């Protein structure tokens, strides 16, 4: 089992707290929950590309932020697990541009499914709702990750040139 350092634990905790705070800020503008999401905090989901230990901090931060989700326990659990899965996948990426893809895919599929289930249950309306919600969530996620997330990675790489790029 790999030993985690105090610095890594602190980094993960700070990233998690920042994720929760940014998501709560987004919720005041009505863009943190629902089919149209533009969570600035999702840009942080690219940090595991440079700092794999931040994956668990992102999960914890998302869990805290999703306590306020209007979609309740399913969003708290599945939405937070989508963030964890995306962060762990991102930590395995070898290319910064590909590192922006896991959050888009995971949130589009998993959060899109939660929203659709909340709206329709598992009725015949689920598939059309899922197509709409999945694409809508993925588009917002793509905008954040491929623009803000990649800008964040570039800034961190310049500040810490010893990290991979």
User: Domain coordinates of the chain in residue numbers?
Assistant: 6-159
Tokens of 140: 């917002």
pTM over 0.85: yes
Cα(24)–Cα(105) distance, rounded to whole angstroms?
23
C-alpha 39/C-alpha 137 separation (Å) is: 10
pLDDT for 1? 66
pLDDT confidence tier of residue 53, bands split at 50, 70 and 90: very high
Residue 165 has pLDDT above 60, yes or no: no
107-144 pLDDT per residue, tens: 999 999 999 999 999 999 999 999 999 999 999 999 99
pLDDT for 123: 96
Q: Which helix (H) or strand (E) holds 75?
A: none
Q: Which residue bears the tokens 């800034």?
A: 155
Which tokens is 56 given? 């668990």
CB 153 within 8 A of CB 50: yes
């Amino acid at each position: 089992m790999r030993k985690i350092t105090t610095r890594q634990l602190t980094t993960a905790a700070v990233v998690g707290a920042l994720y929760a705070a940014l998501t709560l800020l987004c919720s005041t503008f009505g863009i943190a929950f629902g089919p149209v999401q533009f969570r600035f905090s999702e840009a942080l989901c690219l940090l595991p590309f440079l700092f794999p230990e931040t994956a668990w901090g992102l999960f914890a931060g998302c869990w805290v932020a999703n306590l306020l989700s209007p979609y309740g326990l399913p969003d708290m659990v599945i939405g937070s697990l989508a963030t964890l899965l995306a962060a762990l996948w991102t930590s395995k990426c070898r290319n910064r541009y590909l590192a922006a893809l896991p959050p888009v895919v995971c949130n589009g599929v998993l959060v899109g499914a939660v929203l659709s289930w909340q709206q329709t249950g598992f009725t015949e309306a689920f598939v059309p709702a899922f197509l709409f919600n999945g694409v809508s969530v993925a588009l917002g996620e793509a905008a954040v990750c491929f623009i803000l997330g990649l800008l964040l990675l570039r800034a961190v790489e310049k500040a810490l040139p010893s990290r991979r790029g």
